[in-house]
Amino acid sequence: MSRLQTPIRRNDTVVVTAGKDSGKRGRVLKVLPVRNRLIVEGINVIKRHTRPNPQRNIKGGIVEREASLHASNVQLVCPECSKMTRIGHRVLNDGRKVRICRKCEGVVDK
């Protein structure tokens, strides 16, 4: 399977644009590039029934955790203008290639 390049990275703030959590903001915890999916903090929470495992110190019961959602259903939030935006790229004078906001032309990368 080929790796799909998503412009969204770990610790980015995103807004969900489709689905049951539409309009919510969250921080990206994990990027799954092979499946083009993201795990976002507090978004798409599901319940899992887990068995107790004393060796791994896991208690049994119903556990709530975040499930992955497709990268096309989220949009990045610009840290400068705090609006959801598409992402562009630009090469700076020092040779670094950075992601930029399409609305305010601000640099998204730190």
Q: Is the dihedral of CA 95, 101, 107, 110 positive or negative?
A: negative
Write out pLDDT tens, residues 71-100: 999 999 999 999 999 999 999 999 999 999
The confidence score (pLDDT) of residue 3 equals 65
C-alpha distances (whole Å) from 23 to each of 19, 46, 53, 84, 106 are 9, 18, 37, 10, 23
DSSP 8-state class, residue 68: P
Which residue in this structure is represented by tokens 């019961």? Answer: 61
CATH topology for the 1-77 domain: SH3 type barrels. (2.30.30)
Write out pLDDT tens, residues 5-33: 788 999 999 999 999 999 999 999 999 99
Q: How far apart are CA 64 and CA 46, in angstroms?
A: 6
Q: What is the pTM of this model?
A: 0.83
Q: Which residues belong to CATH 2.30.30.30 in the chain?
A: 1-77
Q: Which residues contact 99 (CB under 8 A, 6 or more apart)?
A: 7, 87, 88, 89, 107, 108, 109
